[in-house]
Chains A and B, each alone.
Chain A
Amino acid sequence: MALLNVDNVVKRFGGVTALRGVSLVIREGEILGLIGPNGSGKTTLVNVITGVYPPDSGKVIYEGRDITKMPPHLRCRMGIARTYQIPRPFNNLTVLENLMVSILNGRRHGKISVDEAKELAEDILEVVGLSKLKDYQAKSLNAQGRKRLELARALGAEPKLMLLDECLAGLTPSEVSEMLSIIRRIRDEKNITILMIEHLMHAVMNISDSVVVLNEGMKIAEGKPEDITDDVKVAEVYFGDRELALKFVKR
């Protein structure tokens, strides 16, 4: 069952066309990996899905509803949450308070009390491993802490769909494993559908149910991870050289 349907979205910025008619489908309960070289439009696509940028043409359909014109905060309340590639914590608020913002404004906006929110916040901090730091100001966290806070804050909105933008970037290998297991837990225990933008190839191929490849604003491939690694077009895009790509794929 399709949870999110991106239909032929085009996005231009002045002279640059970041997205040239991208369509994709995310099925409920799956982890979709979104990969592609830098500048291929991955983050722009996420921005369009979350409502930060309105598309120049095309539609975004979520749970069967056309949300193309919906403002970002309403999309969040409908269950779409995101993390930012470079973490954007609410610096002068504590870790706990950061979570409170998304919990109180998320899916249960207006229906959840401050006390209930606090309980939920502490549960989520447990899941991402930030419990000990809950009263520290967000600006005092290190890189790994911030990444986890991004994740926690997105979880706070109690989403059905989470868009993770390079949440593994800058982490050490052991931190990456930890993060991956947290993400798996999120999908398995809370039944959240996930779209992951990632550069870490082994991580993406490892965890994704299906993969979509973007290049220069267009989708050039999609399918299961095994199929993508065998796809010449994808290899070419990454190596920049068709010969090399063919050699790589044939091995």
Chain B
Amino acid sequence: MKRYLGFIVIYFILIALSLISTAYLEIVYYTLFLMVISQSLNILMGFGGLYNFGHAVFIGIGAYVFALLVVQGLSPYVSMIIGGVASSFVAFLIGMLTLRLRGPYFAICTLCLVPAFKYLIVGGKIAGGAAGIVLLRHLIEAYNPYILTYILLLLSVIITLLTLKMSTSSLGYSLKALREDHDAALTSGVDATRCRVIAFILSALFPGIAGGIVAFKIFWVMPETVIDLTWSIEAILIVLLGGSGTVMGPILGALVYEALKDLLMRYFPGLQLLIFGLLVVILISMAPEGITGLLSNRFKRLKGFLI
């Protein structure tokens, strides 16, 4: 029971905050969005040790599939889920191709995925090309920010439970082994390709659904708005900040990140990226285990809560 306490507390706080005012709802919404994409990335990055700079692509795919379906008259909620499934499918395809690459090669390749996807849509004039798809009239009546926020909350809870289960499962151990020492894992019987692909697919499902939510919120799906490298980077940053490979890590990371971002926006507008960039450099050099690492080392009693 003790392991769940931290999570329950945090989720409660988030729900409480969201009910205060619409301004707070916005913040909670965005925090949960970051949480969902970071937690899902953690499955691949934290457990598997693969830095997927193209994580944002899954959001984009989810958004586009959502848009295409909604325009046809399908319910937005069903469309979201199908968007997630579509993302997973694309992840399967991309994964089969790219997951055999070693660390830095994988990072570079996935980094190119985001602009590549953008150019593909604009250049190939797919789904409206640069102009995108407008969803305003299809969704304006169904729009309810509370529902969207709580769907994100639900997603986050699901991922939390999933990763908790994973850390003591065969898949979890295998992924971590691959991360630690690829060859030794192979000779210990780990099927590298299969494990990685599964992790990849899982990590794509949730951002896919989240993509649908984003599309729902902004009513207009365009390459510029839904295929954004920033999300990839924020996700990676949050995973590192919170503690890569832990379940609590991305959650804490998202909270701290969002808080920091708001703070910086108020006192040092325009300098946020600069400060964040430097912060990451310091983080990597001095505290590679992130917040959960720091807290566990400093306050040994907290260790049980911070898995």
Using a CB–CB cutoff of 8 Å, the interface residues on chain A facing chain B are 50-52, 71-73, 76-77, 81-82, 84, 88-93, 97-98, 100-102, 104-106, 109, 114, 153, 156-157
**B175-199: which residues lie under 8 A (CB-CB) from chain A?**
176-177, 180-181, 183-192
- With A93-B176, A97-B173 known as contacts, the answer to whether A105 contacts B189 (CB < 8 A) is yes
Contacts of B184 in A (CB 8 A): 84, 88-90
Instruction: Check if A105 sits within 8 Å of B176, measured CB to CB.
Output: no
A-B contact pairs, 21 of them (CB 8 A): A52-B183, A73-B186, A73-B187, A88-B181, A88-B184, A89-B181, A90-B177, A90-B181, A90-B185, A92-B176, A93-B173, A93-B177, A101-B176, A101-B190, A102-B188, A105-B170, A105-B188, A106-B188, A114-B169, A156-B188, A157-B188
Instruction: Check if A88 sits within 8 Å of B183, measured CB to CB.
Output: yes
Partner of A90, one of B176, B189, B191, B245: B176
Which residue of chain A has the shortest Cβ distance to B181 in the bound complex?
A88
A98 to B180, CA, bound (A): 10
Contacts of B187 in A (CB 8 A): 50-52, 72-73, 76, 81-82
Tell whether B149 is near chain A: CB-to-CB under 8 Å: no
Contacts of B177 in A (CB 8 A): 90, 93, 98, 101
Binary A-proximity of B254-267 (CB < 8 A = 1, otherwise 0) = 00000000000000
B interface: dominant SS: helix
Contacts of A73 in B (CB 8 A): 186-192
A49 to B168, CA, bound (A): 31
Contacts of A76 in B (CB 8 A): 186-189
Contacts of A84 in B (CB 8 A): 184
Which residue of chain A has the shortest Cβ distance to B188 in the bound complex?
A102
A93 to B173, CA, bound (A): 9
Binary A-proximity of B84-102 (CB < 8 A = 1, otherwise 0) = 0000000000000000000
A81 to B173, CA, bound (A): 18
Instruction: Check if B188 sits within 8 Å of A101, measured CB to CB.
Output: yes
- With A52-B183, A82-B187, A88-B184 known as contacts, the answer to whether A101 contacts B173 (CB < 8 A) is yes
- With A52-B186, A73-B189, A105-B189 known as contacts, the answer to whether A100 contacts B180 (CB < 8 A) is no
